[in-house]
């Protein structure tokens, strides 16, 4: 489905590839409803739709960074295509729906699987493992690795007597997370050895 790229879209792509956060936020808002509506119309909950759209944006940004990347359709069509493929993979995991049963509201491109798919699977498995972890481990790991809180801040927040105790708890939580991660990943998409290199 090749089409002439509008000048405005070319400029948007250049800004995105240069890492312009303001442009990314605009693109995010402009295409949110299209992808989310597709998922809601195809058996997904609002939370699943939001999570899949977040993942869609991550995949889109990773593809923009690839050498020689060219976009032969609108950004909207491309994001819809990524979101569609991600949701189809989730439905397959749940053994629900087939490609023929999907209710499409937009044109889409068949996107070939590449190395990004390995990252997508890891991202999905890590999210699932984190959700299964329970408290206080989930919050401790999120605070340290995602929110960038120091061990001193975590010690105070969770009421540990000192930073060493908090570190020990974080280490135990991390071991539980890795164990849970590999359990989620037991469908054999990627071997444990390959995953271990990325953890």
- The DSSP line for 30-77 is HHHHHHHHHHHTTT--HHHHHHHHHHHHHHHHHHHHSTT----S-HHH
Please give the pLDDT value at position 183: 77
Say if residue 5's pLDDT is above 50.
no
Residues 154 and 138 sit within 8 Å (Cβ to Cβ): no
Instruction: Kindly report, residue by residue over 25-70, the tens digit of the pLDDT.
Output: 999 999 999 999 999 988 889 999 999 999 999 888 888 888 888 8
Residue 67's domain spans which residues? 7-101
CA distances from 50 to 5, 21, 36 (A): 28, 19, 7
Q: Tell whether 18 is covered by a domain.
A: yes
Q: Tell whether 55 is covered by a domain.
A: yes
Q: How many domains does the chain have?
A: 2
Residues 51 and 77 grouped into a single domain? yes
Say if residue 87's pLDDT is above 80.
yes
Contacts with 198 (C-beta within 8 Å, 6 or more apart), sequence order? 122
**Could you say which of 40, 75, 101 is where a domain stops?**
101
CATH code of the domain in which 194 resides: 1.10.10
Residues 38 and 93 grouped into a single domain? yes
- Mean pLDDT on 181-193: 56
Instruction: Say whether 148 sits in a helix, a strand or coil.
Output: coil
Residues 97 and 119 grouped into a single domain? no
> In terms of Cα–Cα distance, which of 170, 171, 181 is closest to 139?
170
Residues 81 and 133 grouped into a single domain? no
Residues 131 and 194 grouped into a single domain? yes
Residues 12 and 85 grouped into a single domain? yes
Please give the pLDDT value at position 46: 92
Say if residue 132's pLDDT is above 60.
yes
**Could you say which of 43, 69, 101 is where a domain stops?**
101
Residues 189 and 137 grouped into a single domain? yes
- The mean pLDDT of the chain is 78
Instruction: Give the percent of the chain with pLDDT over 70.
Output: 73
Residues 96 and 14 grouped into a single domain? yes
Residues 89 and 122 grouped into a single domain? no
Residues 95 and 159 grouped into a single domain? no
CATH code of the domain in which 43 resides: 1.10.1740.10
Residues 44 and 122 grouped into a single domain? no
- Mean pLDDT on 129-135: 81
- Mean pLDDT on 10-28: 88
Positive or negative: CA dihedral 44, 47, 53, 58: negative
Q: Tell whether 61 is covered by a domain.
A: yes
């Amino acid at each position: 489905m090749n089409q002439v790229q509008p000048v405005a879209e070319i400029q948007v792509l250049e800004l995105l590839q240069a890492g312009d956060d303001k442009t990314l936020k605009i693109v995010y808002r402009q295409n949110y409803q299209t992808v989310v509506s597709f998922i809601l119309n195809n058996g997904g909950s609002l939370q699943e739709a939001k999570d899949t759209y977040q993942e869609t944006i991550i995949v889109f940004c990773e593809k923009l960074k690839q050498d020689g990347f060219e976009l032969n359709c609108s950004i909207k069509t491309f994001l819809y295509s990524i979101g569609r493929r991600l949701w189809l993979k989730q439905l397959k995991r749940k053994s629900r729906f087939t490609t023929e049963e999907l209710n499409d509201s937009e044109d889409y491109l068949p996107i070939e699987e590449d190395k990004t798919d390995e990252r997508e699977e890891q991202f999905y498995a890590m999210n699932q493992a984190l959700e299964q972890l329970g408290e206080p481990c989930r919050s401790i790991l999120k605070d340290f690795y995602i929110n960038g809180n120091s061990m001193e801040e975590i010690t105070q927040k969770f009421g540990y007597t000192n930073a060493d105790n908090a570190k020990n708890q974080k280490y135990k939580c991390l071991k539980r997370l890795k164990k849970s991660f590999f359990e989620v990943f037991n469908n054999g998409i990627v071997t444990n050895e390959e995953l271990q290199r990325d953890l």
